[in-house]
Copies of this chain bind each other. A is one copy, B any other.
């Protein structure tokens, strides 16, 4: 199936394999008139770059983006924006063994079942490098949202047993700690925890959180295109994510209505009437539509499946074998996935705003009769 596109009006289509010639994305449907340069995009790609700390694989990947279309005289033209990142440091030899067997926790077996064979080099299309296109596209979505007064921020909430303390939240640390934890103390503990996991030839899972500020009330749709439904799809489509929560998430199943309902209060903002909420258990979404308060979502990410310990598996002939994965692998996926979550959230939010531009006849009259 044509499964590499996401979005209705702001539609992205990613392509590329870990060890192919290049990876990239087409962003179609971006409104015209947004100032955009390669450095806007590169800043986001640099956040997912490996080799920047001891936590990530020691592969050096420059991941330099080139914008090939859709921008003229420094502004988006409304036509498709094609962006490409050439693969430069991929050494296919590293993966020769992998061709013959199925790594636990990876998509090797399922690709073979679906397609009959697979590009086994570095995970092929199921590699984490697939997210390059998402991040490049998300950089544009984020810049456009920013022009509308909306900010999207993701960070690491927990790594294994170590969780950030909201009281310690320091925005300055969000993009600078190796863990992407915006809490100096938790970051230090997590770094130590990961060093130990690496020593034990093991890997660690974690949780990331994303918040959206400034989103007007009224964005999203009531049934299948609920804002939270599309966010759930967007985030669950990131490799290794196994759970998505909105607002209080899994906690709601243990709560009472009297605890979980958010009281409406008189407030300020773009809504009419303007309101605030006494609490935000709902995470900013009611009935699939934004309520004007902060959007809050979380994703739970499994530990890196490539570990250096011996593992049991089967080969392509169906024989049981024991393997030991070589190569360079991060002991944790989360810190590099944070920017991906942020980008998928931005893309989803922006698309909901674009498709929702025609919800009211009065808005249409304003647009087309002026």
Contacts and interface: CB of A to CB of B under 8 A. Distances in A.
Contacts of A96: none
Contacts of A204: 256-257
Contacts of A305: 257, 260-261
Contacts of A264: 102, 104, 109, 312-314
A26 B83 CA distance: 12
List 10 tightest A-B contacts by C-beta distance, closest first: A107-B287, A273-B318, A3-B221, A3-B225, A2-B29, A2-B11, A113-B218, A203-B257, A110-B289, A233-B233
Interface stretch (A12-20, A57-65, A172-180): A12-20
25 contacts: A2-B10, A15-B28, A15-B79, A17-B79, A20-B68, A31-B361, A76-B361, A77-B117, A77-B118, A105-B257, A109-B217, A113-B218, A125-B223, A144-B361, A148-B368, A161-B254, A205-B255, A233-B233, A253-B300, A255-B303, A257-B302, A259-B303, A261-B307, A273-B317, A353-B358
Contacts of A31: 358-361, 363-364
A88 interface: no
A364 B29 CA distance: 13
A32 B80 contact: no
Nearest to A223: B4
Contact of A202 (B224, B230, B256, B357): B256
Given A11-B5, A236-B226, A109 B359 contact: no
A184 B225 CA distance: 37
A285 B6 CA distance: 20
A90 interface: no
B2 A7 contact: yes
A81 B16 CA distance: 8
Interface in A292-320: 292, 300-307, 309, 311-314, 316-320
A323 B220 CA distance: 27
A229 interface: yes
A287 to B, nearest CB: 2
Contact of A5 (B3, B28, B236, B259): B28
A274 B317 CA distance: 9
Task: List the number of copies, as a whole number.
Answer: 4
A262 interface: yes
Given A113-B217, A303-B255, A360-B115, A15 B26 contact: yes
A221 B111 CA distance: 9
A318 B266 contact: yes
Nearest to A207: B253
Contacts of A3: 28-29, 221-226
A283 B300 CA distance: 14
A249 B66 CA distance: 37
A110 B290 contact: yes
Contacts of A244: 232, 236, 243-244
Contacts of A353: 358, 364, 368
Contacts of A222: 3, 79, 107, 111, 125-126, 130
A226 B126 CA distance: 11
A310 to B, nearest CB: 10
Given A302-B252, A361-B32, A113 B229 contact: no
A231 B260 CA distance: 25
